[in-house]
Structure 1
Amino acid sequence: MINSKNSALYRTIPFTVIRADSFLTRLKGLMFRRTPLEEGLLIVPCNSIHMCFMFFSIDVVFLTQNNEIIKVVENLKPWRFVPPVKGAHAVLELPVGAIRSSSIKVGEFINLQ
């Protein structure tokens, strides 16, 4: 949907999003999980991630505090790192291929209810 007030593109994504906002849920994230994602994981607050102890690739979307997309990383493989992203407040981890299939782009906003 286009918001006529500021012409920003707001989009919803076709995934259930689980929120990880406590110390333990943020710390664990997707580590040690054996099966690939079928939903999204929103880690708040968060501005960088690691793929240590991961067994599958994911797509990653970095968001500002108002859910503006400021960086996307497609097909992030196990044992890789994404250093801190300036301005990022949250990270949305999605199934691999989700960025491309949903046409998620930097500068858009994600509607997370």
Structure 2
Amino acid sequence: MLINETKNKVWHGKVKLADTFFKRFKGLMLTPNVNYALVFILPAETRTNASIHMFFMFQTIDVIFLNSAKEVVDFKKAKPWRVYIPRDAAKYIIEGPIGIIKALDVEIGDKISWIVENEMEKAVPSPSNVINGVSFKKINGTIGLAEPKPKLKEP
């Protein structure tokens, strides 16, 4: 979810982080259908670090450049096979499907934040009574599941 805190506008799409070299390197390249926002966390706040290329992109996307205070310094509709450099230094870049800029009513100076969907939140918890009935045994340096001993009824 992306939030324009200045205007109290929200885009209710999925958000992922590009917070490592390899995630930033791949970005959205070769993604056939961009249906989520990708937030790039850059190592330094400069115009050069925040420049992007649209090589190997299949569609036009919305791009928002933010400084270290998460304020918008530039935004674009980025078309494939072009290079973009923000007007001012940026620490974060948000790339996503067309419509994000309009949904958030983005303008220079707006403060943008995000909430990343945690993949673990999707997991279905197991009932605790199932887990409590399982025991673990260590045999020859390996751990294996052991069925619980049946309770004997006393006569």
TM-score of the superposed pair, with normalisation by structure 2: 0.61
Of the three residues 30, 36, 41, the one matched with 1:39 is 36
Secondary structure in 1 matching 2:62: strand
Within-5 A mapping of 1:23-102: 23-35=21-33, 37-45=34-42, 46-74=49-77, 76-102=78-104
Which whole-Å CA distance do the structure 1 matches of 2:103 and 2:6 have between them?
Answer: 17
Which whole-Å CA distance do the structure 1 matches of 2:109 and 2:57 have between them?
Answer: 29
Amino acid at match of 2:109: G
Aligned 8 A contact 1:10 1:111 in 2: no
Spell out, residue by residue over 1:21-41, the C-alpha distance to the aligned partner (whole angstroms, 9 max, x if none): 111000000111112x22100
Which whole-Å CA distance do the structure 1 matches of 2:58 and 2:113 have between them?
Answer: 29
Larger relative helix fraction? 2
Aligned-pair identity in percent equals 34
TM-score of the superposed pair, with normalisation by structure 1: 0.82
- Note the residue ranges of structure 2 that are not aligned, 5 or more in a row: 43-48, 116-155
Which whole-Å CA distance do the structure 2 matches of 1:81 and 1:91 have between them?
Answer: 14
The count of corresponding residues between Structure 1 and Structure 2 is: 104
Larger radius of gyration: 2
**Shift of residue 10 of structure 1?**
6.0
Secondary structure in 2 matching 1:31: coil
- Note the residue ranges of structure 1 that are not aligned, 5 or more in a row: 1-7
Secondary structure in 1 matching 2:65: strand
Match of 1:107 in 2: 109
**Shift of residue 111 of structure 1?**
1.9
Secondary structure in 2 matching 1:89: strand
Aligned 8 A contact 1:47 1:85 in 2: no
Which whole-Å CA distance do the structure 1 matches of 2:17 and 2:59 have between them?
Answer: 20
Match of 1:3 in 2: none
Match of 2:118 in 1: none
Higher relative contact order (CA closer than 8 Å, sequence separation 6+): 1
